[in-house]
Amino acid sequence: MSDKTVTLRVTQDRSRNGADKAQLATLRSLGLRRIRHTVEVSDTPQIRGMLHRVRHLVHIEEPHS
């Protein structure tokens, strides 16, 4: 097993308006601040769950193997 950390590039594509409190908190904890803002996050089960919660607001780019 390699020591490389796999990261995902997450971009907020849609507005936060109309999102519930849990979705707003999830976007905030992912580090997303505005539309077209991109962050890199580690690929863990916890992060995948967070991304699943806001999947309609973000675009996820996975690394190419």
* Domain annotation covers residue 1: no
Range of the domain at 14: 7-61
CATH code of residue 13: 3.30.1390.20
DSSP, res 21? H
Q: Is residue 13 one of the residues assigned to a domain?
A: yes
Flag whether 35 is in a domain: yes
Q: Taking CA 64 as the corner, what is the angle to CA 60 and CA 65, rounded to the nearest 5 degrees?
A: 135
In a domain, 2, yes or no: no
Rounded Cα distance, 56 and 13, in Å:
9
For the CA atoms of the chain, what is the radius of gyration? Answer: 12
Alpha helices in 1-65 (DSSP H): 21-30, 45-53
Q: Where are the strands (E) in 1-65, listed by range?
A: 7-12, 38-42, 58-61
pLDDT digits (tens, 9 = 90+) for 18-46: 999 999 999 999 999 999 999 999 999 99
Q: How many domains does the chain have?
A: 1
pLDDT at 64: 76
Instruction: Grade residue 4 by pLDDT with cuts at 50, 70 and 90.
Output: confident
